[in-house]
Each structure stands twice: as structure tokens, then as C-alpha cells.
Structure 1
């Protein structure tokens, strides 16, 4: 009877049913279209939209529109023409002329690309501390002045007036969005926040004690297996799509990683929530309490952390992404490589180390003792969160984070009040102490961000995942910029060989 009832209903509804089938068939007629259609877009296509939602004006916003096409060339920076030359005099008296390049800001650079052809020599620069690896128009740092600019805008101004997702638009497209453009961009990101259900199987296979960064390396790399083999990384539209997919899917996968590691069911994103709210919702939602709301102070704090960490020029992880991308590797695999680089404690683990140090200090009366330990050459202890390889002045992100830290701790009113007080006193003493002042050891952003993350309920082993979530936009923008160059050269550093020269081979029976 039930079957007959369903059949009768289907016959009565035949025009609608056939229309639905035709639409489904048109959208999903072959495998490539299934893979190209975002999961969120697919669901939205066959669901009733809220009446209040306006039509998208993406034609005026994204790549392919006249407004954006005019900016594409600007986002593909060219090597400037040399305006000066310098001479290199070799020990044998040979003189070599080298071009000097000058950007719009920052130190001039000596162009040594043809040095080997002219001299038969390479330069030696471990860690690339004095070597420019690329031309970029995304982020600029003046370490002496303590300045950080995203596309020419001061980080303090962006932190005061923009959201993280607005900053993502700026980094991707080179300009700040208007209200309509931002709403369109947010919708595009939400369309991509769902992930293929098969990805959930990956989480089942990990050791329950696996580090979240190990999981993220794997699942972000695994996204490449869900992208059609025909991905054309030379097409700006496809690069844009990859960028949006990475921004959108990272918080979903990060939250999945956290919840499965502690045995909680996964939570899916919601279209009515913002980017930051969605991440907090997926991380901390109680499936038995659907009426719970998200604290706006928590949302603001996490938004600030992501914005401040969105990009930071050519650091270790960004350079890793560029090196991987230079081989024309799958972009998801390139970002996975960046995550692996960030995982290193010398790069992405500083805020965790700061929290552990503050816990070790424990009490106000212990601060002088730890200051003395930091000054002692024979003591391995050092004050974490002070000093920076690039900034020789106050880290501009630190002041923003310090204000946010105070606001969060006061709002939560927890035991972290004590940790914040110790941090503030430690900062005050260090800024007045000649040892720290003469060495330009000022607090950096990590000094306060760890306290904020802990206050938000983020486990310590998830700190670096939050860093990676923030930095994904920077990585993908750097990758997009590199791929927009006319002739991308594969990264190939040189070495100064100090091993054995050619030796005579001895057969195993003749060896002692």
C-alpha cells in the first residue's frame, strides 16, 4: 500500500519530478561535473533559499568580471628594471658588473642570477638570511620600524576595522571589498565549507593520540585526491577556486580533527553563521544543546588572531609552499607541505612555549629569578615570546594582541587573570631592563596569543593548527602569485660540498 501511495504521489507530481530530474541530470551528467560542483553549492541548489537572501552579484566581484580583470596584472608582480650597478672584484682581479634592483620599499638587492655564468661561483647563505627568493606585492615588513603591511594597509588599521574574512578578500584580490563584494565572497566560502563524506574515514584511521598537525598534514594533502585530474593551475579562475576551497575547508577539517580526537561527534557548518562563528560552532557545539549561543568576545578574539597571522612574507612555511609549488605540484599538496614546516617548534610552536613558560614561572615573586636565568649565559632558559628574527623593534601585532588578551581575560573572569598579570609584569620589567632593551628584545605576538587561545578553550596541541588555519590564506596567495609569473623556475638551492672527493671502489670481499 505504501509503495502504491508513493507511486501515485509521484504520478501526481510528475511535472515537478521530471523537472527536478532534468536539472539533476544537467548538473551531474558526468564525473567531472560532480567533482567541479561544490558540496555546499549542490545542496543549496536543490533547497529553498530564505526570502531575505538577495541575488549574488558575483559578476561584479570575482575573476572573470571586468572590475577584477583590470587588477590581475597588478597581482602578478614583475622584476623591476635595474637602475644601478655594482662591481664585484674577485681575488684574481676580475671585475664583474651586477645589477642592483630596487622595490617600492625595503632594502635594495643585488641581482646575482647570472653570477655563475660570469664567475663560475655561487653565493653561500644558509637559512637565506640575506637572499631574496622572489618578487612579491602581498606583504611588507619593516623590521627596524616595526611595520607590517598587507597589500599596503597597516596591520593595526586592518585589525581595528576589518574582519579576517575581509582581510582574506584583500590578500586574494589586492583591494578591500565593498559591502556587496564581501557578502558575495562570504557566500562563496560557505558554499565550499562542506567536505566529502569519505574524508571522515581518514580520521578513523589515526592513532587516538596523534598530534592534530599530523592529522592536518594528511587530510589537507588528501583533498588533492578529490580534485579532478584536469585541474589547470595555469588558469586564474581555477587558482581562485582552489584558494576559496582551502580557506573554506580548513576550519571544517580542523574542527573534525579536534572532535574525533576526544571522541565527540563531528558538527557541520551552518549557513547562518559567520566564518569564525562556524569554526567555534564546529569545535565546541554540544549536540544536546542546540540553543547555545557563541560568545561575541570569543568570536572577536579568534578573528583577531587569524587576521594578525594571515601572512608574514617569506617565512619558512611560506617558502616551503613556494618551493613545492615551483615543481607544479598539486596546490593542496603544497599547502600540506607548508603545514609540515609550520609544525616545527622553531616556527609555529612559540605561543605554546610562552604559555608553558608562564605556567612555569607561576608566581609574581618568581619573575626576578627567571629574568636572571635568561641573562645567565650558562643557563639554557630564555624568555619565550620576546624578540623576533625580523622585527628589531616592537612587533606591531603584539600591541593588538595584548589589548585583545586583556579584554578576553576580563570577560571570562577565570584563573588566567593571574597568568595575564604575570605576563604584563614580565613585559614591564623586560622593557625597562638594559639587557633586553640593548638587545631589542621586545614582546612579539606569540607572547599574548597563547593566553587568548587557552582562554578560548583551545587545547595546547591545537595552537599550531589555529596558526595554520590563519596562515592558509597567506600560503595560497603566495602560491597564486608565484603561479601567475610568466616563467616559474623550480626551486633549486646550491650547496658547498665538504664531503669526500672521488674514491676508488673496493669490492666487499677485499674490504677490511
Structure 2
């Protein structure tokens, strides 16, 4: 620790490099410092490795971006210590209570709540873009019936881009979207048209993945229904006329869509921005977001939380399960969050929704186990010391299950509304007046230093299981092929048997 003499406070950080005894003053702006300012802190190479690049300036090492801000954003604010979540300044609790999903989508993307006329135009445009090309239905039919719906959805968004070549910067020029930052009306129109297309078609694609799993024909979008009402129609309508989803389920899904619409620079949003920084088309960007959201540590967590509750089975088994968690033998899902060190405000909003849904669907049979687990967490010193409170995934999974959605469809129900957040951040990036710089994180290279090529006969095998591929088990047909023989294209004979 270096003690600096008292003087008038100023917004800067004084750094003393003990290698050189040089003093650097790093400006502090918005309680942050520029990582590139640390590149000015240089030293002569001493005992360092060549790969440490000491003479090129100090690097900032932050595994998994634990404390690195990568963008300046006006979209979503999270205070993890106090359990605060706001969209464009509006508390999530107020939006869930008073807004609807499409209004919130407009807010996230364009910065303000829409006027009545703006909302009507926005809603009409989004719902106008709900239909997809019939050839995309053929793409869904190429999947196995038991494919995971998120695999289908990620592929569907990428496929959707192939039907909009005019929206592809690789075909139309790299400034197709970044020209919008100067107010270019044509660029802005192209940019916003793709946003309308993706938001409008997301429920249609998601429902197609569901119907594909069910072996049912695809529905066409129904005009006159709300965004979530149309989604439920696409999922469930079988026959008859004037189909109307239950209003409580429709409203609950709409509220869940608001809650899941954005969450700052999470894993999938960071993926969207990383991919988007290459100036690729927004369909590829959203497809990449789906791939990131798919993981069990991100959008797949609600599915994992329900599987955990099903495995626990009953309230009386909670203490035994938690004893295993505390011994680090099991992983607890649905509790704790990378950002929130207090109650997740989304989970508070969802609990009220859950009661309304259960009043219609009947009480979820896992609710007693979930309640017992939450009660245990409140009393457990192990949980309190680690700030492990129920998060959004813990309660949303209970609602989805009560509404009859299969477990592997939960990430899809997350992805549909999250398209709005992804597109809001992508649009913000494209409209940056300073331009878009491709994301290129640095690394600390800790591998081998320069060495000479080794001839095959002089090489030694690695000593651990990680140093070569592990043996792979093949099907029984491989054994038959192994016992057979054949000639390759060069005429060489292979196999144990003689021709």
C-alpha cells in the first residue's frame, strides 16, 4: 500500500510502478478507469517471459469479466447489492404491474415509453411481421422429432437471415447499419425493419419448434390477438374457431416476457455484442444469442431448477439435499446470481404471478418442495454467507410447469422476449457515433515458450488424460466394419479380412 500525501481530492487514481518507481495518474470517470490507460505503464523486460510483453504496457487480467465494463449503455441498470433492476430508469416492478410486453419492448429499444399513436403503429407493425416464409417450415421438418427446441430456434433465426439478403452487410456493404448513426434515413429504415421482423417472427419460430416436437401441423399467426395471446394460439390451437387463450395465462406470460426482456450485459447479450461487433447481420447475431442462452448456467437454469426440485421430491428431503450442497457434493440451482447479492427483484415480481397462475391451473405439486427449500435458504448460515437467495429461474420454472410447458421448452420461453433486449443493445451499438470497434479481448499466454519442431520418432506421449483424445466407444456396426475389408481410392487394402 502506497500512502500519498493529503491534497485536494480529484477524480484520478495514482499508481506507483515499483518496478520502475514511476508514478502514473489514471483519470477516473463514472467510477471507472480506462483499461487502455494502463498500457502506458511500461517496464524493461527483466525476469519476465517473452510472452509477458512487459515492454508493451501493463495488461488488465479479469477472468470471466468479473469487474470489466465493456460498453456504455442507456438501457438497463442493475444494482446487485440492493436488488434493483430498471429498464431505461423505470423499476421492473412498475413495468410488470402497469405495462405490457410490446410497450416495454418499445421502451427498451427506443428509450421512452410510446405515446398512444406510437404504440398502435408499433404493435401493428410487429404483428404484421409474424408470418414466415413457407420454406422455413421445411427447415423445421428437417430436424428429428426429438431435437431440442433451442437447437431448432437458433437454426431458424440463422435461416431467417438467408431470406433477407438485403439486410446482410456482407452482401450490401459493411456500413449498411452503421450509417444509421449519422441519421441516414435509409440505413435507419433497414435497421428498424429487421428489428420488427425478428420480434414479430420470434413467437412463430418458437411455436414451430414446439409443434415440431409434438408432431402437430404448424399454425398461422392469428391477427387480433395480443403478442403473447398470438404466441399461445400458435402453440396450442388445434381446431375450431375463435380460439382465445385463458386471460390469466396470457397476462402471466406477458409479464414473464417483460421480466425476461433484458438483463444488462449478461452472457448472451455479451455474445450478441461480440458477434455484432463484426458487423454481421442481426439474424446471425440473434442466433448466436440463442446459442449462448441455451446453456444450463444461463437460460437453461429454470429447466435445471425444476429437475432439481423433481429429484428432491418432497419437503422432508430438503435438509438431506442441502447437506450434500453444503458438502459441495451437489449443485444448488435457482439460488444466487452473478450480479445480485440480495433478493432478485425479478423473483419478487414472479411470486405474485405464480399465485394467480396456480389459482387457474391448480397448485404446482413441486411448490411445497420449493417453499421448503426457500425457507431453508433463509435460515441457513451457509446460504446467507454466500448471498444465495431464490432467483428468477427458481420461480419461473414453477409457473412454466404449471402452464404445461415441457422442460426443454423453458429456454425458448426465455429467448423469445430476450430478442428485444439483444436487439436494443445491438441497435445501440450500431448507432454509436464513434463507430463500432470489433471486440478483441486480450489473453495472458502461459503455454510453452518458443521451441523447435520434434521429429515423430523422437516425440514422447503426454502423461495425463488431457494430453490426447480419450478412447471413443463406437456402435456395433463399427465392429462389423472393422472386421470387413475394402480398398480405398488409391487401391490400398484395409481391414483384417482378406479380399
Q: Same fold (TM over 0.5)?
A: yes
Quote how far apart the aligned CAs of 1:118 are.
4.3
TM-score w.r.t. length of structure 2: 0.81
112-121 or 289-298, which moves further after superposition?
A: 112-121
Between the two proteins, the alignment pairs up a number of residues equal to: 420
In the alignment, the residues of structure 1 paired with residue 91 and residue 374 of structure 2 have an alpha-carbon distance, to the nearest angstrom, of: 24
Which aligned pairs between 1:93-172 and structure 2 lie closer than 5 A? 93-102=21-30, 108-119=31-42, 120-172=57-109
In the alignment, the residues of structure 2 paired with residue 458 and residue 483 of structure 1 have an alpha-carbon distance, to the nearest angstrom, of: 36
Question: Unmatched 5+ residue regions in structure 2?
Answer: 1-9, 43-56, 179-186, 461-499
Quote how far apart the aligned CAs of 1:255 are.
0.5
Q: Which residue of 2 aligns with 1:306?
A: 257
In the alignment, the residues of structure 1 paired with residue 137 and residue 450 of structure 2 have an alpha-carbon distance, to the nearest angstrom, of: 52
Which aligned pairs between 1:86-485 and structure 2 lie closer than 5 A? 86-92=13-19, 93-102=21-30, 108-119=31-42, 120-227=57-164, 228=166, 229-230=171-172, 232-234=176-178, 235-286=187-238, 288-377=239-328, 379=329, 381-413=330-362, 416=364, 418-485=365-432
Q: Which residue of 1 aligns with 2:473?
A: none
The answer (yes or no) to whether the contact 1:393–1:440 under 8 Å persists in 2 is yes
In the alignment, the residues of structure 1 paired with residue 427 and residue 36 of structure 2 have an alpha-carbon distance, to the nearest angstrom, of: 23
The answer (yes or no) to whether the contact 2:362–2:402 under 8 Å persists in 1 is no
108-117 or 393-402, which moves further after superposition?
A: 108-117
Q: Which residue of 1 aligns with 2:488?
A: none
CA displacement, residues 437-474 of structure 1 (integer Å, 9 cap, x when unaligned): 23221111111100111111211111001111121000
Cα separation, partners in 2 of 1:472 and 1:285, compared to 1, 3 Å: same
Q: Secondary structure at the match of 1:101?
A: coil
In the alignment, the residues of structure 1 paired with residue 261 and residue 393 of structure 2 have an alpha-carbon distance, to the nearest angstrom, of: 14
The answer (yes or no) to whether the contact 1:276–1:303 under 8 Å persists in 2 is yes
Cα separation, partners in 2 of 1:331 and 1:140, compared to 1, 3 Å: same
Cα separation, partners in 2 of 1:274 and 1:249, compared to 1, 3 Å: same
Q: Secondary structure at the match of 1:113?
A: helix
Quote how far apart the aligned CAs of 1:499 are.
1.1
Q: Secondary structure at the match of 2:28?
A: strand
In the alignment, the residues of structure 2 paired with residue 439 and residue 117 of structure 1 have an alpha-carbon distance, to the nearest angstrom, of: 38
In the alignment, the residues of structure 1 paired with residue 373 and residue 437 of structure 2 have an alpha-carbon distance, to the nearest angstrom, of: 47
Q: Which residue of 1 aligns with 2:435?
A: 487
CA displacement, residues 333-359 of structure 1 (integer Å, 9 cap, x when unaligned): 011111111111111111111111111
442-451 or 224-233, which moves further after superposition?
A: 224-233
CA displacement, residues 83-122 of structure 1 (integer Å, 9 cap, x when unaligned): 72212222321222222111xxxxx111122422443121
In the alignment, the residues of structure 2 paired with residue 463 and residue 437 of structure 1 have an alpha-carbon distance, to the nearest angstrom, of: 28
Cα separation, partners in 2 of 1:292 and 1:243, compared to 1, 3 Å: closer
In the alignment, the residues of structure 1 paired with residue 315 and residue 15 of structure 2 have an alpha-carbon distance, to the nearest angstrom, of: 56
The answer (yes or no) to whether the contact 1:98–1:112 under 8 Å persists in 2 is no
The answer (yes or no) to whether the contact 1:192–1:248 under 8 Å persists in 2 is yes
In the alignment, the residues of structure 1 paired with residue 135 and residue 40 of structure 2 have an alpha-carbon distance, to the nearest angstrom, of: 52
The answer (yes or no) to whether the contact 2:15–2:23 under 8 Å persists in 1 is yes
TM-score w.r.t. length of structure 1: 0.79
**Cα RMSD for the two superposed structures:** 1.7
Question: Unmatched 5+ residue regions in structure 1?
Answer: 1-82, 103-107
In the alignment, the residues of structure 1 paired with residue 33 and residue 110 of structure 2 have an alpha-carbon distance, to the nearest angstrom, of: 30
In the alignment, the residues of structure 2 paired with residue 437 and residue 101 of structure 1 have an alpha-carbon distance, to the nearest angstrom, of: 34
